[in-house]
Structure formats: C-alpha cells, structure tokens
Structure 1
Amino acid sequence: MNSTSRIKSILQSGSLDSTLTGFLNFDLRSLDIQKISDFELPTNIRLGHLVEKVVSKLIQESINFRIIYENVQIIENQKTIGEIDFIIENTASKQQIHLELAYKFYLFDPSISSEPILNWIGPNRNDSLNEKLYKLKTKQFPLLFHPCAVSQLENIDVSTITQKLCLLVSLFIPYNLKTELDPKYLPAIKGFYINLKTFIELHNPDNLYYLPTKKDWGIHPATNETWQELNTIENVLKLNRLEKQSPLCWQKQGNYYTELFIVWW
C-alpha cells in the first residue's frame, strides 16, 4: 500500500456538518503540519484501525496539537466497557479535546425514510449513519464521564474538556438519483451505486476496472496501476452477489475515473 496515497486520502476525506451529526466537528485540516515524516503503514490491521494509526501520526506531526491519551480502554470490574479514541490538547490555548474518530462508507437509500439522515446505510445494509451517531451520543462520548474513565485519565479534568467528532465519510448515491440532497452532504459524495445487472448494461468497451480490497477503499483510483476487462471480474461480481457482498469498484475510461459500489440488493 502506498502510504502517501493513503495519508492523502484521509486528509481529503469528506466530513459532515455539525448540524447533521449533532456534534462539534474536528477538521483534520486544522492540523498545522509542516512536513509528514515517512512511516510504514501496518498491513495486518483492519481499515478503521489503519486510519486511527494515520490520524495519530498526523496529530503527532502537527505543531498545534499534541496527544495526551490514545486508545484508552476503560475497564470496570476487569471488563472493558469501551474505548476512548484520543484526548488531545491545543498547544497554544491548552484546550483539551476528547476526539472520537470514525472512517465510514455510506450509501443513500431514499426508500427507507422521508428523513434523509436515516437513509445512509452501509454497502451491505448491516449498519447506518444514524446508528453510528446514536452510539456516539449514548455510549462513546458519555464514556468520558464514567467513574472508571475519570479515575484512569490522570491529571484530566473531564468537566473542562471539549468533545469533538472526526467523522470521515465517503458517500455514494443511487445511479441517476432523481431527488435533490441537502447541499451539506455534497462535499462527501464520492460516487454512485448500482446493481450488477445495470452495471453490465452500462459497460462501455473502453472501460477498465479494478476491485480494491477494503484496506484501499478511499484512495483515489488514479493511483492504481492494475486494470482489468469486464470479463475478468464478472465472475467475482456474481459470487459477491450470491454472498450478499457489495464490492467497491474503480472504473477507468481514458483519464476519467469513477468510484461505484455494485450492490447485491
């Protein structure tokens, strides 16, 4: 994996306005980074943990924030009841921030509800933006004030901490979506989604494709060097559909790149 491409993809990820999430937003662009030192990305961890490692490195490389605590497991009666992602501090103001981080991919299904915030779901329909926000509100952010957290976070006055969310999202809309979305979602929209039948019908002989592994999701397709014909990936896509898996597909036509999910539903 190209570390430069991975870091760039994270810095350029979309984020949602606080009026949509209900939480103060922490924008990675607020990090004052003069130069990012070379570092090797781990290869044996899941995408979410990989992003945590990169964001940790970015904060460490910044001159305006420092990490006080990172990945603190809160333990009660010898059982882990949750984890706090970061406690960081602004080096100038000394303001401390409880920072929760998430890196997500959501697809817009307008058939679910008349409330747009309820319509963003995971590619395989087993999670949603609304569920994530509910968990943050009821579990992850309140964890800071749990007596066990207060006792574990030495020299931290939790009553003065600001809580912020760094929700990095890539949003995908239905192919030829007819309804208009709230403009606040637009900066995070990366592409569209279709089913396999429509994908094959829309195939152009000039198109080339690549099915990235999940660890490469979010990286711009232009960084990819290996491309395939439709007949090379078609059987894989049919198997994905049978297994109810919705793969991300990168499409290349000349110098034009598209990101799309091919959904089983």
Structure 2
Amino acid sequence: MDVNQYRQTLNAAVRSAHESHNYITEEKYAEFFGPLELTEEQDKLTRDYFKGLHISFGVWEGTESDDLPLDENDGNYLSFYLEELETLPEYTEEEKKAILEEAVDHDDAEAKKKLINMHLKDVVDIAKLYVYHGMKIEDLIGEGNIGLMMAVDLLGTVDSIDEVDGLIGKAIMDTMDAAIERDSEDKSGIDSIIDKISGIGRAAKELSEDLRRDVTPEELAHETEFEVEDIEEALRITGNNIDGLIKNSIDQK
C-alpha cells in the first residue's frame, strides 16, 4: 500500500461522506479504496476510522428539513445568525457578475466585501453538512468564514470569474476539513499510524541504500529509534509493501 496515496484517498472519502450528511455507500467506498486493494486488516482499520468520525455506511434517508443535530445553544446561534444574514442586501445575476469583475479584475476592496457577504449563506449550508461529524456549528461557520476570506484574497490566481465559485467553495471546505481534523482524536490516531509508517519507510530506504540490500526489521530497529514490533506492524498494515525492508511471511488474513 502506498501510504501517501492511502492518505489522499482517505481524505477524499471523508470529504465525500461529509457532503452526504456523513454517509458513504458501499459502492462509493469501493470506488475510493478498490484501486488500493486493501488487505482485510487495512479495510478494518479504514472502516473503524470512519466509525470514529461518526460516518455511517449506507444512504442518508433524511430530508433537508430534518432537524440538525444541534443542542439548544447551537440552535439559538444558528437562528440568530441566519436572521442577521437576512439583513444583507441581495443582488441580481447581472449585479453579481459586475461585483465579480470588480473584485477579480480590479482588486476592488468594496467589491470584495460584497463578494464575501454574497457567500456567507453558502458557508452555513456547507456547515450544515459537516455538523454531522459532531463539531459545533458555530465553530464550523467561523472556520468556513475564514476560508471564505482567504479565498477572496486569492482572487488574483484565477483566470476568469467562472473559477471564483469553485475557489471559494474549496477554500470553505478545506478550512472545515482542517478544523475537523484538529477536533478529532480518532483522526489524530490514524494520522499517527500513517506518519509512523512513512517514517519507517524513509528509514528503511536510507539504510537499504547504504547497505545496498534490503534490511530486516531487526537491523532497522538497531539503527533507528523504531521498535521491531512497530516495524512488523507497519509491514502488516501495508501488506509487506515497504521498500528496502525484507518481506516477512506475515499473516495478512
């Protein structure tokens, strides 16, 4: 298993689940992880990770009008915040296009401010999808607003105004993803595993290049801070796929 590819796939799958009210279908799971050919142990590790993030397997059968998983404080905050957003001016499609052109082509500060206000409701809509993870919606909205402002500061990187919505949406989701990552102890745990495997892989490659041959877990442990047990666990999780390490006859069932 390519650890970096696994990490990227995992992050993409989690984002997809967030966009589906924290649900992922077996078909979608297979679409993400099928090409990686996970072992039984890798598959279990991945599914346990999803469980830790409160991601369910199946199809969300609720409706947009269903109550969100909010406590009283969160519910009150959301109501008051939405009331505030209703006081913001609304623009026609022609006016929106003019604002975009001023913000992108002329770096106009007033146009940028209007653009931010135009997308504040989008932040709330995205936060409603992410709230199923368990974070407070106030925190998610705050993070999303930061992402929105960051995106507006990057308008000079787009080639046309048609790319602005995509840039803003991605920035909002990226900041919420990062907030969830920080908030989740379970995610920190799997990141720790991935980081350790990556470290073992780098160390094994360096030592094998120095010795001009593959090395054993015992040899690698002797030359590094890693324990033999950690190295063997890394081999097991990756399916005996760490360059520079002798392939052990590990039971992968």
TM-score range, shorter chain: under 0.3
Which of these two proteins has the greater Rg computed from alpha carbons? Answer: 2
TM-score normalised according to structure 1 size: 0.22
Greater fraction of residues in strand: 1
TM-score normalised according to structure 2 size: 0.23
